[in-house]
Structure 1
């Protein structure tokens, strides 16, 4: 009997969306459980380590988004051909996670003056630095991040690029042709295209 998967995350795209994409890529059924932000204080203590997302596998709950995504990537065959490629994939994903952390630090800042200062640094310095290097890596590897073929690093970015655009504005990913081409290519997969058309409309 196939395991039963339940993914619990906020009613956002965020760091839960790459996991959803990976399940969809493999055609693996999962329950998409969404927590509203206003309900989080009531739910937090019942979660592993007080964090989301977590994945429940036949009742066993596991947390940490990148670890969950890596697990699902193994299930659906989107890992590297060897340990070195897996290391490269992890490096790319962790870089995207670092960028996400920078963006969310200012995006959810409540003090408007501090928020604008953080945003200015992120938009003028941090985002261009990250995206230019990621774009160059795609150019070097035939349009994919690792090994000249689709891996979960590519799916991770493609599921996340709209969040970057939403947080930064001005269709920033579109300024980097290899990143935009990757996002377009991956999101054209039938499973992803269907999901994007029907998924809940949420903030990043």
Structure 2
């Protein structure tokens, strides 16, 4: 019997979209619970560490988005075949997370003057630094981020692009053809394409 999955997150793509992509890829039916921010306070105490996302499978709760993605990657045959390949995937995912955090730090900055300073650094320095290297990495791995094959890291990247594009307000892969090709390849996988066509529309 297939596991019963319940994914809880806010009403946006954010950290949960890679999980949704992986669940969709694996054809794992899941309940997609989305909280508005005003609904969050009373729910917070029911989560393991007062944070989302939380994935519940057969009554067992998992937290930490990357750990959830890694678990699903192994379950779906998208992990490394040995310790080195697994490390390659982890390094790629952690690098993408570093980039996401830099973008998020700028996007959620409440002080407008500070935000403008951060914006200049992010767009002139941070994005080119990371994207040039990731673009070359994909080229060296035959069109993928690690291990010369499709892994959960590629799905993680393609899913987070939606959030990062929303923050940047443009397609961050537009000047990086290898990354653009990888994103397109993942998004055109039938099960993921189907998910994208039916998911709720949000900016980030």
Query: Which residue number in structure 2 is paired with residue 36 of structure 1?
Result: 36
SS of the aligned residue for 2:34 comes to: strand
Instruction: Check the 8 A contact 1:23/1:76 in 2, yes or no.
Output: no
Q: Which has the higher helix share?
A: 1
Contact 2:5 2:30 (C-alpha < 8 Å) held by counterparts: yes
1:20-31 matches, within 5 Å, as: 20-31=20-31
Paired residues in the alignment total 204
SS in 1 for 2:45: helix
Q: TM-score, normalising length from structure 2?
A: 0.95
Aligned ranges 1:133-152 → 2 under 5 Å: 133-152=133-152
Structure 1 gap segments, 5+ residues each: none
Q: Is this contact kept in 2: 1:164–1:173, CA < 8 A?
A: no
1:198 alignment counterpart: 198
What is the alpha-carbon distance in structure 2 between the residues aligned to residue 87 and residue 155 of structure 1?
A: 16
Kindly indicate whether residue 111 of structure 2 is the aligned counterpart of residue 111 of structure 1: yes
Distance in structure 2 (CA, Å) of the matches to 1:49 and 1:63: 8
Report 1:1-204 matches (<5 A). Answer: 1-204=1-204
SS at match of 2:49: helix
Q: Secondary structure at the match of 1:46?
A: coil
What is the CA-CA distance between 1:28 and the residue it aligns to?
A: 1.1
CA distance in 2, matches of 1:132, 1:6: 37
CA distance in 1, matches of 2:171, 2:30: 31
Distance 2:2 2:163 in 1: 32
> 2: distance between equivalents of 1:119 and 1:53?
27
Counterpart-to-counterpart distance in 1, 2:196 and 2:74: 23
Which has the larger displacement, 161-170 or 75-84?
161-170
Structure 1 residue 173: Cα displacement: 1.2
2:3 is paired with a residue of what secondary structure?
A: coil
Long gaps (5+) in structure 2: none
What is the RMSD of the two structures over their aligned residues, measured on CA atoms?
A: 1.2
Distance 2:193 2:4 in 1: 24
**SS at the partner of 1:71?**
helix
Residue 140 of structure 1: CA displacement? 0.5
Cα 1:113/1:83, change in 2 over 3 Å: same
Please state whether the residue corresponding to 1:116 is helix, strand or coil: helix
Q: CA offsets, 1:121-160, max 9 Å, x none?
A: 1111111111111111001111111122110111111111
User: Aligned equivalents of 1:168 and 1:141: distance in 2?
Assistant: 27
